[in-house]
Structure 1
C-alpha cells in the first residue's frame, strides 16, 4: 500500500517539495534582510521620539510583504483541500478504480486509512515547514509590531497552519467521498474551507478563553496612539488601541466611545470634533480632534486577551482543527463501508 500510494501521489509530493524549497529560499533571504533592518532600527532607537519613528519606518518597510506572505500561506490549506483531499477518493470512485483494490485482500477501511494517512501527513509537513520558515523570517518584525494575535498573522505562524492543513485535507476527502465526483468535490471543498477560515478567527477564536475587561479613558494621548478614528457609517468608534502596560495584548472587542454616564457618544458631537474641531495647534496623529474629544470625558470598554495566552490559544485552536479532522476521518470510515 505504501508503494502504491507513493506512485499515485508522487507528482503532488514533488511539486509541493519544489514549491516549499522556493518559498523557504525566499524567506531565508527576507529573514536576513529583516534582521539587518532590525539591527539598524535598534541603533537608531536612542530616545523615545526617535525610537517611535524608527519603529514606524521599520514596520512600514515590511508590513505589506509579510501580510501578503501570511495571506498566501493561509491559502495553502485551501489548495491542499481542493487539489489533494477532494480528488483523493472522489477520483477513484468516479473512475471505478477502487474496485480493483477492494477485490484484493485489503479492506475498505484499511485502504482509506492508508490513502489518507500518507497524503494527510504530507499535507501537515508541508504546511508546518512553511509556517516554521515564515515564523523565523518574521520574528524580529513580530517583536516590534506586537501583533501576533492579528487575524491573518495568528493563522500563519507556528503550529496553527498544521491544524488547518489537516482539517482542509480531511474535509476535502469526506466531501469527495460523499459527492463521488471530482470537480464538484473540489469546488465545494474550496467554498466550505474559505467559510471556515473566516468563521474561526472572527466567531470562535475570541471565545476559546474568557476575556479580561478594562476601561480606558480617552485622553488626547490615548486617542493619538490609536490607528483609526471613525468609520464609513459615521459611528463614534476608535480602533487600534493598546491596553496600558500590555502592548502585546489582543483586544478582541472595543466599545464605541462612551460618555461618563456610560452612554454612547452622540454622533453629532463626534462628527463636530472629527470635522471641525477648535484650533489648538495640537500635534499628534489626530491633533485638534484628539483634544476636542478628550474634553468630553470619554472612555471605551475593552475585552482583551493577555499576551501570555498566545501559546495556549495556538494549542487550543490547533487542537480544535485536529479534533475536527479526526471526526471527519471517522465519518469517512463509516461512509466508505457503503461506498
Structure 2
C-alpha cells in the first residue's frame, strides 16, 4: 500500500528570485505628477543646480577668508577683492525674489485653470476618484515639491550667508531678510495658493497667469512695506546737547536705522524732526538759540537690531502660512461645492 499523501504529479514550482518592493506613485498622486511633471521636475532640477552652485561659491569664499586670516588681515578690514564675493552673494540672493512669482504664475495659476479649460476636471471627477481627494492632491503634490525645493535652496543660501553677515556693511541682515530662513518657503506657498485660487475662479489659463502676476506683484509690494513692522523698534539717544563737538549716537553693529533720519530730543522727552530750525542753519547763533528755545538736549535714533531677525522671520512666515492655508481651504471648499 502506498504511503504517499499527495499527488506526485503536483510538483512544487521552483522558487524564483524575490522581487524587491519599490515605492511607486499611484492613483491621484501619479495623475497629478504626470500632469505637471515638466514644472515639478524643473523645480527639482533648479534645486540641485542651485545647491551645487552655492556650495561651490561658498567654498571659494571660505577659502578666501582662510587665506586672509593666515596672512593677517589689514587694520582697515578685508581687501577690496572681498567685494567680489559680496557681489556673488547679492546676485544669487536676487534670484530668490523670482521664486514667488514663478510659483504663482507658472505653477499655481495653471493648476486648476488648465483642467477646467480643457475639460480634464470633468473627466477626472467622473471616475472613481472623489472630488475632494482630487482637489487636495492637486494642491498637496505641487505644494510639497515647491516647499522642499525652496526650503533646501534657502537653507543652503542661509548657510552661505551666516559666516559673512558681520564682515561688510553691504551684508546687512535687512537686505537678506526675505531670502533666508523659512520666509522664502512661506512666501512661495502663499503665491502658489493665490495662483491656484485665481485659476479656479477665472477658469482660463492665460488670463489666470496675467491676473496672478499682478496679484503677486501687489503682495510683494505690501510685504516690502510692512515686514519691518514685525520687529520691536528700539531707540538710542544722547542728552549732552547738539552743539559743537557733539555727535549723534552710534548704532549697534548690524542695526538698521529707521525713519527719515536723526531726531532732536527735548528735555520733556519729546522728539522733533531734524528739519527743526533748518531755516536758520546759516547763522550759528540764531540756530543755537532756536534749538535752545525748543529745549533740545540731544539726538535720538530709531533702529531695528539684528537680534530680532529670526523672531521677525518666523512671525512673518507664520502669517504667510496662515494666509496660504486659508486660501487653500477656500480652494477645496469652493471646488467641492462648485467645480464644473
Same fold (TM over 0.5): yes
SS in 2 for 1:213: strand
SS in 2 for 1:57: coil
SS in 2 for 1:302: strand
Equivalent position of 2:118 in the other structure: 95
Please tell me whether the aligned partners of residues 31 and 137 of structure 1 are also in contact (alpha carbons under 8 angstroms). Answer: yes
- Alignment match of 2:99 (pick from 76, 82, 85): 76
2:207 aligned with 1:208, yes or no? no
- Alignment match of 1:149 (pick from 173, 177, 180): 173
Q: C-alpha distance in 1, partners of 2:319/2:197?
A: 18
- 1:242, distance to aligned residue in structure 2 (A): 5.7
Deviations 1:265-311 (A, max 9, x none): 355677x79xxxxxxxxxxxxxxxxxxxxxxx996533333322222
Q: Tell me which stretches of 4 or more aligned residues in structure 1 moved more than 6 Å.
A: 217-223
Deviations 1:124-162 (A, max 9, x none): 111111111212222222232375531x41111121111
Equivalent position of 2:274 in the other structure: 264
CA 1:299–1:69 in 2, change beyond 3 Å: closer, same or farther?
farther
Please tell me whether the aligned partners of residues 213 and 301 of structure 1 are also in contact (alpha carbons under 8 angstroms). Answer: yes
Deviations 1:199-226 (A, max 9, x none): 21322x2222432222268898967xxx
Equivalent position of 1:338 in the other structure: 338
Q: C-alpha distance in 2, partners of 1:242/1:193?
A: 38
Q: TM-score, normalised by structure 2?
A: 0.76
Match runs of 1:22-101 below 5 Å: 22-43=49-70, 50-51=74-75, 53-55=76-78, 57=80, 60-101=83-124
How many residues get paired? 289
CA 1:264–1:137 in 2, change beyond 3 Å: closer, same or farther?
closer
- 1:57, distance to aligned residue in structure 2 (A): 3.0
Q: C-alpha distance in 2, partners of 1:242/1:184?
A: 52
Q: C-alpha distance in 1, partners of 2:78/2:280?
A: 34
Equivalent position of 2:48 in the other structure: 21
CA 1:193–1:44 in 2, change beyond 3 Å: closer, same or farther?
farther
Equivalent position of 1:316 in the other structure: 315
CA 1:135–1:248 in 2, change beyond 3 Å: closer, same or farther?
same
Match runs of 1:277-316 below 5 Å: 300-316=299-315
Identify the structure with the greater helix proportion.
1
Deviations 1:87-111 (A, max 9, x none): 0000001111100111123232221
SS in 1 for 2:232: coil
Please tell me whether the aligned partners of residues 34 and 138 of structure 1 are also in contact (alpha carbons under 8 angstroms). Answer: no
Q: C-alpha distance in 2, partners of 1:17/1:269?
A: 63
CA 1:267–1:85 in 2, change beyond 3 Å: closer, same or farther?
same
Q: C-alpha distance in 1, partners of 2:164/2:246?
A: 25
Please tell me whether the aligned partners of residues 104 and 194 of structure 2 are also in contact (alpha carbons under 8 angstroms). Answer: yes
Equivalent position of 1:189 in the other structure: 212
**Aligned-pair RMSD on alpha carbons?**
2.9
2:38 aligned with 1:11, yes or no? yes
Q: C-alpha distance in 2, partners of 1:155/1:139?
A: 14
Please tell me whether the aligned partners of residues 149 and 310 of structure 1 are also in contact (alpha carbons under 8 angstroms). Answer: yes
Please tell me whether the aligned partners of residues 263 and 301 of structure 2 are also in contact (alpha carbons under 8 angstroms). Answer: no
SS in 1 for 2:236: strand
